[in-house]
Amino acid sequence: MRVTFLGTAAARPTVGRNVSALSVQREGDLVLFDCGEGTQRQMMRYGTGFALSAIFITHIHADHFLGLTGLLRTMGLQGRTEALPVYGPKRSGRILEQAVHLGLERVSFPVTVTELEPGERVERGDWAIEAFAVQHGVRAIGYALQEDDRLGRFDVERARALGVPEGPAFGRLHRGEAVEAIDGRMVHPHEVVGPSRPGRKVVYTGDTRPAPSVVEAARGADLLVHDATFLREDAERAHETHHSTAEGAARVALEAGVRRLALTHLSARYAELPHLAESEAREVFPGAVVAWDGFTIEVPFPDGEAE
59 known ligand binder: yes
207 known ligand binder: yes
Residue 264 buriedness (CB in 10 A; 0-12 / 13-18 / 19+): buried
293 known ligand binder: no
Q: Active site includes 63?
A: yes
136 known ligand binder: yes
Nearest residue to 21 (alpha-carbon basis) of 187, 246, 1, 46: 46
Phi and psi at residue 294, in whole multiples of 5°? 95, -10
Catalytic option among 29, 34, 63, 293: 63
Q: How far apart are CA 251 and CA 235, in angstroms?
A: 14
CA distances from 4 to 24, 124, 150, 255, 283 (A): 6, 20, 24, 25, 25
Q: How far apart are CA 287 and CA 19, in angstroms?
A: 24
DSSP state of 239: H
Quick check: 68 and 36 in contact, CB under 8 A? no
149 known ligand binder: no
64 known ligand binder: yes
Which long-range contacts link 231-237 to residues 24+ away (Cβ below 8 Å)? 231/270, 231/276, 231/277, 231/280, 232/280, 234/267, 234/269
Quick check: 102 and 54 in contact, CB under 8 A? no
Quick check: 165 and 158 in contact, CB under 8 A? no
222 known ligand binder: no
Residues belonging to the binding site are 59, 61, 63-64, 136, 207, 265
- Known catalytic residues? 63
In the annotated binding site for Zn(2+), the residues are 59, 61, 63-64, 136, 207, 265
